[in-house]
Chain A
Amino acid sequence: MVTISSEPLSAPLNVGFDYTRSLGPVLGRFATGLRGHTIAGVRGSDGRVLVPPAEYDPVTAEKLTEFVDVGTEGVVQTWSWNAQPLDGQPLSHAFAWALVKLDGADTGLLHAVDAGSPDKMSTGMRVRVRWAAEPVGSIRDIECFEPLDAEPVERQPVVGDDVTMLTTPIHLRYDHTASPEESRYLRGLAEGKLLGQRCPACDKVYIPPRGSCPTDGVPTEDEVELPDHGVVTTFCVVNVPFLGQRIKPPYVAAYILLDGADIPFLHLVLGCDAAEVRMGMRVRAQWRPRDQWGTTLENIDHFEPSGEPDAPYESYAQHL
């Protein structure tokens, strides 16, 4: 057994994506209006003016088509105080969330009110739109609302082609934790060891070890140190370039079954012509220089043919 800390490894995981959506006739009209400093509502089945406009009535689901422009001032229907704004919110200093019923509208619009402090907020207070510096056709063209006694900010509307698309960047932060079993495996790699574990039910050796054997639903247990050589079970030749590719095609991505393991893992096979790689080929790990090792399988740069005779098909047929 290798003595390794049992605290699971964790690391920041930041995910991001710019969601791009088409707007359609109703939301497109609303977005185009905002960019030009007007606010469009739509008349619902019950005669109410809905702002923001709905494509279909919230109660009857009837298609709505009668647009009604409403005012850029309105009344706070309710509010809450946001003392510590989060990333992406309309203002980076403390503000109120509010439902604002614009003049001529019958429903509340969710947005921020820049009031300075909660004692400046009250239900029924009047507020007006503060437009964004660079309108693009989005709910964010309303920078926020502000009390009527605030100093007005001069902002210019933009006129142009109809707005048809909306891009919303989404960025979320996580603390990603490896399982206890994966953590042992990753710490082993940092010491140049390949640590698998055996399932107590089916006796299969997994590398990486797992919090649950997918066949038996129990955690893998007994540790097995595996050698850094094995056999190619199956492979593919990558001929297509893609974003982030680190090796010039063609090259080989292969499933490699370490000797003594029951589950292969994916790695690169280099050091020979791609056309020479075959099922059953015996390969050996090519480690990076020790001073570059970390808690990652990238410590192994790639696998190379070891020159030994190929393994017979029957020896790995159950591990494909």
Chain B
Amino acid sequence: MSEVAVVGFAQAPNVRRTPGTTNGVEMLVPVFHRLFAETGLSKQDIGFWCSGSSDYLAGRAFSFIAAVDAIGAFPPIMESHVEMDAAWALYEAWVKIRTGEAETALVYGFGKSSAGELRRIMAMQMDPYLVTPLWPDSVGVAGLQARLGIEQGLWTEADMAEVAAASRRAALSNPDAQLSGETTAEELLKQPYLADPLRAHDCAPITDGAAAIILASGDKARELSERPAWITGFEHRVDTPMLGARDLTTSPSTIAAAKAAGVDGVQVAELHAPFTHQDILLRQALGLGEEVRVNPSGGVLAGHPMFAAGLIRIGAAAAEIRAGRADKALAHATSGPLLQQNLVCVLEGR
């Protein structure tokens, strides 16, 4: 089976609101052009295209078909889509290359979260029989998980604020970040609750954005990149959708995916934790020690474009490898309420 590596990554600036359409075309066209400029490839060189996005977020049916316009899909292309974060689209593309059906793939994700009421739209991902009819908003539900950990002594509100402050400091060196700056946990804790026990800084911001990654197989990757980020482990697992029937203070599916992917010895990790307590929860579940740099990009607390944010974690982890700042990196993506479904991608430089 072919080896597969990340050879290119680009993202649109993470912003609170873009004037563009919900089909992402205005954000994707410049991202594709930057990727092609970086790799020297053109659209004809791409063997497989795969995207992640959501019609509920876009407020229109088949928004991902409208997004295909951004590609310029002529002559006809081989294309697929997942109604999930594009990290899972990358998984599909990885399988396509591994099985020899393509030599290169371009994976993209986009989300204009500002178009609707994000907290409310996220209720659509819950159990449609017993949970969605209550319209539980994503922030309120996250507060349930945060309090469980606080009351069990797994983290404190101060620990959570420290995660937010660290994210914003790290994001100072990320030109695409939405939130960055010098602040302290002490300052952040003076803010009122948004959904007790969560404050605004505990929640990833509402972000419009898009991102894309180019994958290539063995020799092609070596030809395109001086130091490709080789994918050496790639696994995803899911927990029950019944929130009350699983231990919300840990993430069994993350642990299982990490074990299968082989994360020992990672030097840097990009975690998809939309709430500060989930950052701590994931570090605990993955057993990441002090020696591991976590979220050098600032993570999703610095910008959280829905359906692209997980893919961006893989792009940011790959950037650490490709720049020679790490030899082994972990990227994590999540989907569903309270870290229900989790993906772990391990990248290595040689």
Interface residues, chain A, with chain B CB atoms under 8 Å away:
7-8, 13, 15, 19, 21, 23, 27, 30, 44, 48, 50-52, 54, 58-59, 77-83, 86-90, 97-99, 101, 107-112, 118, 123, 138-140, 166, 168, 170, 172-180, 182, 201, 210-219
Q: Number of residue pairs across A and B with beta carbons under 8 Å?
A: 192
| Residues in chain B near residue A78, CB distance under 8 A | 144-145, 147-148, 151, 248
A27 and B25 contacting across the interface, CB-CB below 8 Å: no
Interface string of B239-276 (1 = CB under 8 A from A): 11011111010000000000000000000000000000
A115 to B19, CA, bound (A): 41
| Residues in chain A near residue B147, CB distance under 8 A | 78-80, 123
| Residues in chain A near residue B195, CB distance under 8 A | 80-83
| Chain A residue with Cβ nearest B244 | A108
A248 to B32, CA, bound (A): 47
B135 and A176 contacting across the interface, CB-CB below 8 Å: no
A4 to chain B, nearest CB (A): 15
B91 to chain A, nearest CB (A): 22
| Chain B residue with Cβ nearest A169 | B133
Contacts A8-B19, A50-B244, A175-B115 known; 4 new A-B pairs at CB < 8 A? A79-B144, A139-B129, A172-B56, A174-B59
A22 to chain B, nearest CB (A): 10
Interface residues, chain B, with chain A CB atoms under 8 Å away:
19-22, 25-26, 29, 32, 43, 56, 59-60, 68-74, 114-117, 119-121, 124, 128-137, 139-148, 151, 193-198, 239-240, 242-246, 248
| Residues in chain B near residue A82, CB distance under 8 A | 137, 140, 195
Counting from the closest, the 5 A-B pairs by CB-CB distance are: A80-B143, A217-B72, A58-B240, A108-B244, A174-B59
Q: Taking A174-B116, A214-B74, A217-B71 as contacts, is the C-beta distance between A54 and B29 under 8 angstroms? A: no
| Chain B residue with Cβ nearest A15 | B59
| Residues in chain B near residue A81, CB distance under 8 A | 143, 193, 195-196
A62 to chain B, nearest CB (A): 13
Query: A80, A98, A182, A214: which contacts B72 (Cβ < 8 A)?
Result: A214
| Residues in chain A near residue B128, CB distance under 8 A | 19, 21, 168
B151 and A123 contacting across the interface, CB-CB below 8 Å: yes
| Residues in chain A near residue B143, CB distance under 8 A | 79-81, 97
A215 and B72 contacting across the interface, CB-CB below 8 Å: yes
B29 and A215 contacting across the interface, CB-CB below 8 Å: no
B69 and A174 contacting across the interface, CB-CB below 8 Å: no
| Chain A residue with Cβ nearest B123 | A88
Query: A80, A168, A173, A201: which contacts B133 (Cβ < 8 A)?
Result: A168
A303 to B319, CA, bound (A): 56
A51 to chain B, nearest CB (A): 8
| Residues in chain B near residue A109, CB distance under 8 A | 244
B70 and A217 contacting across the interface, CB-CB below 8 Å: yes
Q: Taking A97-B144, A179-B25 as contacts, is the C-beta distance between A172 and B135 under 8 angstroms? A: no
| Chain A residue with Cβ nearest B119 | A86
B299 to chain A, nearest CB (A): 22
A229 to chain B, nearest CB (A): 28
The winner among A15, A176, A177 for most chain B CB atoms within 10 A is A177
A97 and B141 contacting across the interface, CB-CB below 8 Å: yes
A140 to B129, CA, bound (A): 11
| Residues in chain A near residue B139, CB distance under 8 A | 80
| Chain A residue with Cβ nearest B143 | A80
A172 and B72 contacting across the interface, CB-CB below 8 Å: no
Pick 6 A–B contacts, CB within 8 A, sort by A: A52-B130, A86-B137, A107-B245, A172-B121, A212-B72, A217-B72
A88 and B129 contacting across the interface, CB-CB below 8 Å: no
| Chain A residue with Cβ nearest B72 | A217
| Chain B residue with Cβ nearest A201 | B72
B115 and A27 contacting across the interface, CB-CB below 8 Å: no
| Residues in chain A near residue B115, CB distance under 8 A | 174-177
A90 to chain B, nearest CB (A): 6
A8 to chain B, nearest CB (A): 5
A72 to chain B, nearest CB (A): 16
A211 and B26 contacting across the interface, CB-CB below 8 Å: yes
B196 and A80 contacting across the interface, CB-CB below 8 Å: yes
B140 and A107 contacting across the interface, CB-CB below 8 Å: no
Q: Taking A78-B148, A174-B59, A218-B29 as contacts, is the C-beta distance between A89 and B245 under 8 angstroms? A: no
A211 to B244, CA, bound (A): 45
B331 to chain A, nearest CB (A): 27
